[in-house]
Amino acid sequence: MTAIWGIVNVTPDSFSDGGRYLDVDRAVAHGLRLREEGATVLDVGGESTRPGAERVGPKIEQQRVLPVIEQLVAAGAPVSIDTLNAATADAAVRAGARIVNDVSGGLADPEMRAAVAASGADYAIGHWRDFSDDMYAHAQYRRAAREVAGELKARMGEAAAAGIAPSRLIVDPGIGFSKRGGQNWGVLSGLDEIVALGPRVLIGTSRKRFLAETLDADPATVTEKRRDLATAVTSALAVRAGVWAVRVHDVAATRDAIVIAHAWEG
């Protein structure tokens, strides 16, 4: 069955659940609930990557995520660390994280690939062109899926050159990262080009703005509930496209959508 990454954002400013789980105990409880609902991996992040977000620095980031990771790992949950920083990736793996989720694919921190190579963790590399404060300046594509696949292939080569075995790689087309509304649909409708790269594919559409823009001319009026339903639909379609995992906030809804999509496949 398609894997489900449940999102545990330990940040005060993420656009969707920011602030609610700042407190360590609540973040841990939230993660464990997601696990009960069917999450196979808990993706813990301490720095928001939403458009326009400011960087927080590795020190604050680690203060936020490390206690949460330690407790989730102690409770037996598989954990990934969502970070752009090599120092945080390293500390998180020492605390028990098994996967480093780097939305920049190794571009944000020149030390990241060496840190991951030494850690033995799996490495999820996202398609990314620039930091969040300037990401839309690079949102230019002729054929989005093909260009994203080509750039991910370059990131795969760089990871291999740093000593990370191909079997440890996961690729993610980076929905919403340097991509405007329709460009995201261009990537999703061409997902076979990403799947054809070879590694496991991870997709993150959850509650993202392009879903709300598609549902209503005024995206601000689209409730979280509607974004979660749209996310469950993209999760089911991602199953049909052959992805390995989806990264979501509402694990329960996406779990049901995935079960039904697999039943359809027989």
Which x/- pattern over 9-48 shows residues binding ligand PMM (rule: CB under 6 A)?
x----xxx-------------------------------x
Q: How far is the CB of 109 from ligand PMM (least distance, A)?
A: 15
Q: Is-catalytic flag, 225?
A: no
Q: How far is the CB of 15 from ligand PMM (least distance, A)?
A: 6
- Catalytic residue, chosen from 35, 208, 209, 227, is 208
Q: Quick one: 209 or 265, whose CB is closer to ligand PMM?
A: 209
Q: How far is the CB of 89 from ligand PMM (least distance, A)?
A: 13
Q: How far is the CB of 164 from ligand PMM (least distance, A)?
A: 16
Total number of residues that touch ligand PMM (CB under 6 A) = 19
Site for ligand PMM in 76-105 (CB under 6 A): 82, 101, 103
Q: Could you say whether residue 172 binds ligand PMM (CB under 6 A)?
A: yes
Q: Are 9 and 48 in contact (CB under 8 A)?
A: yes
Distance CA 52, CA 14 (A): 11
Q: Six-digit token pair at 174?
A: 């980076």
Q: Quick one: 15 or 244, whose CB is closer to ligand PMM?
A: 15
Site for ligand PMM in 190-249 (CB under 6 A): 202, 204, 247
Residue nearest to ligand PMM (CB): 204
Q: Quick one: 182 or 264, whose CB is closer to ligand PMM?
A: 182
Contacting ligand PMM (CB under 6 A), which of 4, 7, 39, 246? 7
- Catalytic residue, chosen from 113, 227, 247, 255, is 247
Contacting ligand PMM (CB under 6 A), which of 13, 24, 40, 50? 50
User: Which of 59, 45, 52 lies closest to 12 in space, CA to CA?
Assistant: 45
Secondary structure of the chain in the HEC alphabet? CCEEEEEEECCCCCCCCCCCCCCHHHHHHHHHHHHHHCCCEEEEECCCCCCCCCCCCHHHHHHHHHHHHHHHHHCCCCEEEECCCHHHHHHHHHCCCCEEEECCCCCCCCCHHHHHHHHCCEEEEECCCCCHHHHHHHCCCCCHHHHHHHHHHHHHHHHHHCCCCHHHEEEECCCCCCCCHHHHHHHHHCHHHHHCCCCEEEECCCCCHHHHHHHCCCHHHCCHHHHHHHHHHHHHHHHHCCCCEEEECCHHHHHHHHHHHHHHHC
Catalytic residues: 208, 247
Applying CB under 6 A, which residues contact ligand PMM? 7, 9, 14-16, 48-50, 82, 101, 103, 124, 126, 172, 174-175, 202, 204, 247
